[in-house]
Amino acid sequence: MEGRAVNEPIVAVLCGGTSPEREVSLGSGKFVAAALAYAHPTQLFVVDTDALPAGLDPARHVVCSTLHGIFGEDGGMQRLLEAEGFHYAGSDARSSDLCFDKWRARQTVSAVGVPVAPGRFFPATNKPAFAELAAELGEQVVLKPNRQGSSVGLQIVSTRAGLSLALGGLRAGDWLAEKRIVGRELTVGLLRGRAMGLVEIVPKSGVFDYSSKYTKGLTEYFAPAKISEELAARLRQVSETAFATCGCRDYARLDYMLAEDGEIFFLEINTLPGMKETSLLPMSARCVGLDFNALCRELVAPAVERFHLGRPRKP
């Protein structure tokens, strides 16, 4: 492109993938590529298999992945990129794998004082009896797959009969059961390890499930969240601690529940959050004065810096 340095890398935006979140990722990729094109030479790659797309070159490309879910966020794509010597935006393979595993992420942040709701991990092939789980966590329980994103498979039950039915329907995979925290849902984006604005999520159904996330009009958002500065400061501090403890890099989004008594509870870290202009990470960024185009530039800036500091050679 005219006026740009000869050695400036092309930003390769990856989208699509093979997970249940493919359509969400396709949207994220389209918006991010369009935004980045104002500042960088950019190519959009649609990923259709669990492999690197053809045409990527570590000597020419810096990768910005907008893949979501399995293979996208769980370290699968990151391991392939690292093996081929690519510089890429976002957390590395080890941190991505840790954060995608909800139970391990909970244990990791809890060890440094980040509060988590009472919970239990179990495989579907060795699930607890509903009476045992209800005695441990109460009758209001959140059930979710241990390794999925975008609330895929999320179930909230509020009675012993409902819990018995939900457990009976689990046939495969590893699951996490958590005591349901009734209150307000909050999220915060982090950029280079620093927390941005707090956003409150208010689903009209009362549950921020897949439908509420991606169906227009089913959820209200308040950015910034209407909370005290003291609580906002606490959430920012906790989020920065969790980000660093899990070894995250460049950016992420952390989700919380704020209980009715004012206690906060960590839910999860999203290392590759949704990136449409109306997504939660851009909402958080707008609270601190970053519009969508500026945010996208900031997301890839550290990877471009790494490219220039240790520019890979072609094999």
Q: Which of 27, 75, 149, 274 is catalytic?
A: 274
Q: Is 189 a catalytic residue?
A: no
Assess whether 268 carries a catalytic annotation. yes
Q: Is 230 a catalytic residue?
A: no
Catalytic residue among 79, 164, 214, 221: 214
21, 73, 101, 185: the catalytic one is: 21
Catalytic residue among 91, 270, 279, 284: 270
Q: Is 270 a catalytic residue?
A: yes
- Give catalytic status of residue 126 as yes or no: no
Which of 75, 253, 284, 286 is catalytic? The answer is 253
**Which are the contacts of 162, defined by CB distance < 8 A and separation ≥ 6?**
none
DSSP string of the chain, one letter each residue:
-TTS-TTPPEEEEEEE-SSTTHHHHHHHHHHHHHHHTTTS-EEEEEE-SSSPPTT--TTTEEEEE---STTTTSSHHHHHHHHTT-EESS--HHHHHHHHSHHHHHHHHHTTT--B--EEEEEGGGPPPHHHHHHHH-S-EEEEETT-STTTT-EEE-SHHHHHHHHHT--SSEEEEEEPPPEEEEEEEEETTEEEEEEEEEETTSS--HHHHHSTTSEEEESS-S--HHHHHHHHHHHHHHHHHTT--SEEEEEEEEETTS-EEEEEEESS---STTSHHHHHHHTTT--HHHHHHHHHHHHHHHHHHSPPPP-
Of 255, 256, 279, 284, the catalytic one is 255
Is 284 a residue of the active site?
Answer: no
150 noted as active-site residue: yes
Residues serving a catalytic function are: 21, 150, 214, 253, 255, 268, 270, 274
